[in-house]
Amino acid sequence: MKIAVAMSGGIDSSMAAIILKEQGHDIIGITARFLPESSTYNSLCESSINDAKRIALLYKFPHYEFNFSDNFQKRVIDYFCDEYLSGRTPNPCVICNRYIKFSEIINAAADHGCDMIATGHYAIKKENNGRYYLSMSPDISKDQSYFLYMLTQEQLSKSIFPLCALTKRDIRLMAEERDLPLKDKPDSQEICFIPDNDYISFIERYTDTQYTSGNSVDTTAGGSPPPITTQHTSGNILDSKGNILGKHNGIYRYTIGQRRGMGISAKHPLYVISIDAKNNQIFVGPREELFINSFETKDCYDMKYEIKDEIKAMIKCRSTQSPVEGFIIRVNDRFKVKFTEPQIGISHGQSAVFYDEYNDIIGGGVIDKTYSLTFPE
């Protein structure tokens, strides 16, 4: 079996390739260019590609480069910016995995005669009666199953996760034993197209956001004109009773649960509790107003099995969150979810992933509506 290994230039994907090579598999390395040529971060991309090439040369397997930047820009970057400008908090890695990494790379691998692809994700692939699904990694702190819940059955059938039963400590030790050139390379913590983690500046540069003052953000550093142009003005900050407490300077600067940086004063701490993009308003309130009893997703993704009747599951609404108990039912093309105990930090645009008692992914969806009172009939 010939396997194409998606290599980012990091230690995880490098060790995935080495493990398969040492097991005797016929492998090739594939590294994708995702960032537009005009990106100010392309030097980091070049460095990652060179690191992947070093490993391929050291372990004597072919390495190929592909440019997916056009599709990445449309599917991931445009989506990311549009979601923030619409008052939602997106997860671009989830979209990238389904529509870029496990789509484009599978096609590229097939062009080179490969039957399967492998990645350095920390997740366990399982199969039962011809249906594929994922389970959490034993290294919960590094588990990446949450980011993979949108993968299709076809994508899963052609994917291998060599790090499935390993922890990050295992990988570091294995790299040390082999004196790997990348053994001390730090993990990447940021979104790949915003390595400095400054979302606001990126969105302003990329979308050429303009303010009521008439001053536009300088986008010349990016080279080509931005694909999205939007007029995003200042608006009101209100409490839950409709009292105006101040002004915001663009809803994309705010996220649910945010406490600092709002420029308003009060006798008690105030948090962003909702964002009304249609009317360009932000609502704030005390911490107790953050609690959500239930929510709906705008879509349905099934993995281990198709959710039909109401089920009890563990629900993860952020990648860094521990799953919490709740009940899920499918209504047409939406999941309706009710928590056993109210939760905070639930944001429109984020993904909700459902796990069973075996830590297997049942399914998930993108959060579209949230409710702080009774679950809607």
34: tokens are: 């995702």
- What's the maximum distance between 2 C-alpha atoms anywhere in the chain? 68
Spatial contact of 352 and 365, defined as CB atoms under 8 Å apart? yes
CB < 8 Å & 24+ apart, contacts of 166-172: 166/122, 166/138, 166/139, 167/137, 167/138, 167/139, 167/142, 168/122, 168/139, 168/141, 168/142, 169/139, 171/11, 171/12, 171/15, 172/11
Dihedrals φ, ψ of 260, to 5°?
-95, 160
Integer Cα distance of 56 and 297 in angstroms: 42
Catalytic residue among 45, 96, 114, 317: 96
Spatial contact of 348 and 257, defined as CB atoms under 8 Å apart? no
Does the annotation mark 93 as catalytic? no
* Nearby residues of 185 by Cβ (< 8 Å), 6 or more positions away: 10, 11, 51
Catalytic residue among 81, 114, 192, 317: 192
191: tokens are: 């979104």
Q: How are beta strands 116-118 and 159-160 bridged, if at all? A: parallel
| Half-sphere exposure for 342 (CA within 13 Å, toward CB) | 14
CA distances from 45 to 6, 225, 288 (A): 14, 21, 43
Spatial contact of 240 and 291, defined as CB atoms under 8 Å apart? no
Spatial contact of 152 and 96, defined as CB atoms under 8 Å apart? no
Q: How are beta strands 351-355 and 311-316 bridged, if at all? A: antiparallel
129: tokens are: 């009666």
Residues annotated catalytic, as ranges? 96, 192
